[in-house]
Structure 1
Amino acid sequence: MKGIGWKLVAIASGLVASQIAKVVTKGGWKAVTGKPMPVAAKDPSSSAAEALAFAGVSAAVMAITRTFVDRKAAGLYEKSTGHAPPPVEKLREED
């Protein structure tokens, strides 16, 4: 039953991370390039190099943001329940 609580926290943290990453990527791209972020990889108004650069930057920002938010969520979960999230407990048991 405790896994359901963590699943809800994980979903919420994923949504939060996604929104933060979008804002950071959009603002950072505009600040660095002076142009709005590409609408889509298929957008003909941006070059292939620009589309690839944007893909790399946005993926990196999302990975970093997701890691930070997930760690904070896990810490809050552990603090409020008295035990680590189920995926973390499972990894600890395997060691």
Structure 2
Amino acid sequence: MSDIADQSGWQALAAGLMEQDRFDAVAACILALALVDKARDSRTAARLLETGHALVLRSLVTLAEEPALIAIDRRDERTMRSFYHVTEQALALRNQFYK
């Protein structure tokens, strides 16, 4: 039951993010997963979203652009896996949803 509650939490956050012009569905889901600590690397996000790793990598580039909501910590050159964390701006954005 807690998995369902956890899943609905990040999905609700993603739905709220999608209402803003800046986010497409993949970017909103990646950010929501990062904000609830479910995924902090691109492979995990791709697996949880059941989508291609390349799509996640493309969305990470968008999220890392100014104003950056995701900061890339490191990349594995062999697998292309990117490890990232949320920025203060992303945390502030999340707090707007939980006033």
TM-score normalised by structure 1 residue count: 0.29
Question: Normalising to structure 2: TM-score of the pair?
Answer: 0.29
* Structure with higher RCO (Cα < 8 A, 6+ apart): 1
- The structure with the largest alpha-carbon Rg is 1
The structure that is helix-richer by fraction is 1
The structure carrying a bigger strand percent of its residues is: 2
